[in-house]
Amino acid sequence: MGELSGRRVLVTGATGFIGSHLARRLVAEGAEVSVFMRATSDRCLLADVLDRVQVHEVDICDEDAVRMAMAHICPEVVFHLAAIGMSEPFVSPPVAVRVNVQGTLHLLEAARQCGVRRFVHSGTAYEYGDAANNDAPHKELLDPVNTYAASKAAARAFVRLYARVYGLPTVNMRLFAVYGPGQPPKTLVALAVCAALEDRDFPMTPGEQMRDFVFVDDVVEGYLRAAVTAGVEGVSIDLGTGRAWTIREVVTTLFQIAGSRAKPLVGALPYRPSETMKQVADPWVARDLLGWQATTSLEDGLRHTVDWYRQGYDDAALQLPVDIRFPHSPALHALREDIFHRPSASHKYDHA
């Protein structure tokens, strides 16, 4: 990824799970990294690289602020990960449209005016809905079943339109079940790991849903390749392994890796309304166009994730310096407070 060294890049949603991993990797690659975040954003996941990125307090819903900041930065590559509704998929439709559709349009138009060389947009596997149940490649069969997915599908339509009509070099990344260190509150893996490490039984659904779990480091690699690979303009690319595991399998494996004395309470909770039972990526487009495929096994990825959380618990108990293998660990306790103690803010932005 030496092509990104010295390049001006902009990351929205950089204070979130995937965004913080991406920003950190871009810094390591030698890119000149700018980030958009709101004044109220929690910056803990970026704590170790904040002094090496240019922070711009910009709300993507503010068209004028987006335009002026983009004109000042003149980014060559934009990675757009800011969104609302990932952890609350039935968010109010007007809010989802304002952030996920209009916010994306503000960025697209500013990118067009600035002559951005690549605009990498973040989509979601939930855009496919039940179309992803088919074993055959689902291509562009979209059937979103919640507000978040519908808004992301609409945003993707504008992303493609800007490529076809205005010549803006866009690419859309459809993310499957991304997991790893620093995953946000209210997500399955974060909640299950914390329960396992605290020896608390974990209420869950019957767990028959099948998801394509992909490790965050692999996803970041896919984003970087999408930023520099020619011939992908206007294309949507699945980022997943091409294999699905049941939720029950993943939670059970997490508890085993953690060596927990507690257990998953399978079937204690009902399925969500309109639950999509199977989501599996079509990995061939990413392989053919980007030369990318996920390389982290599920067991290895889950073990890295458990180790990250365990390190944070050990540090809290022993008051020892954080092991440098887990660069996010200074933020673990704030994250854990979010998971278990802080009330959920109404209409708070999520960051991929």
Would you name the residues annotated as active-site residues?
Answer: 148
Burial class of 41 by CB neighbour count within 10 A (0 to 12, 13 to 18, 19+): buried
Question: Which residue in 241, 237, 5, 285 sits closest to 127, CA to CA?
Answer: 237
Strands 245-246 and 210-211: antiparallel
- pLDDT tens digits, residue range 193-219? 999 999 999 999 999 999 999 999 999
Quote the percentage of the chain above a pLDDT of 90: 76
Give 159's Cβ-side CA count (13 Å radius). 30
Q: Domains in the chain, please, with CATH? A: 2-269+277-351 (3.40.50.720)
Q: Return the pLDDT at 88.
A: 80
Q: To which H or E segment does residue 19 belong? A: helix 17-28
Q: In the numeric block, which tokens belong to residue 346?
A: 């109404």
Q: What is the mean predicted confidence (pLDDT) over 175-198?
A: 92
Virtual torsion, Cα 104, 108, 114, 119, nearest 10 deg: 90
**Per DSSP, which regions of the chain are E strands?**
8-12, 32-37, 54-57, 77-80, 82-83, 118-124, 170-175, 177-179, 202-203, 210-211, 213-215, 235-239, 245-246, 264-265, 350-351
Q: In the numeric block, which tokens belong to residue 228?
A: 């520099």
Q: What is the mean predicted confidence (pLDDT) over 319-346?
A: 39
Contacts (Cβ under 8 Å, ≥6 apart) of 165: none
Q: What is the mean predicted confidence (pLDDT) over 162-169?
A: 97
Q: What is the mean predicted confidence (pLDDT) over 321-346?
A: 40
Task: Name the band, by pLDDT with cuts 50, 70 and 90, for residue 349.
Answer: very low
Task: Name the band, by pLDDT with cuts 50, 70 and 90, for residue 141.
Answer: confident
Q: Return the pLDDT at 348.
A: 40
Residues 119 and 9: their CA atoms lie apart, in Å, by 10
59 contacts 65 by C-beta, under 8 angstroms: yes
Strands 82-83 and 210-211: unpaired
The rounded radius of gyration (Å) of the Cα atoms in the chain is 19
For 321, other C-beta atoms within 10 Å of its C-beta total 9
| Most confidently predicted of 186-195, 231-240, 334-343 | 231-240
End-to-end CA distance of the chain: 22
Residue 3 has pLDDT above 70, yes or no: yes
**pTM for this entry:** 0.88
Residues 120 and 233: their CA atoms lie apart, in Å, by 10
Task: Name the band, by pLDDT with cuts 50, 70 and 90, for residue 185.
Answer: low
Residue 233 has pLDDT above 50, yes or no: yes
Question: Which residue in 272, 275, 269 sits closest to 204, CA to CA?
Answer: 269
Q: Return the pLDDT at 340.
A: 38
- pLDDT tens digits, residue range 241-297? 999 999 999 999 999 999 999 999 999 999 987 788 999 999 999 999 999 999 999
Q: What is the mean predicted confidence (pLDDT) over 155-163?
A: 97
- pLDDT tens digits, residue range 292-319? 999 999 999 999 999 999 987 766 544 4
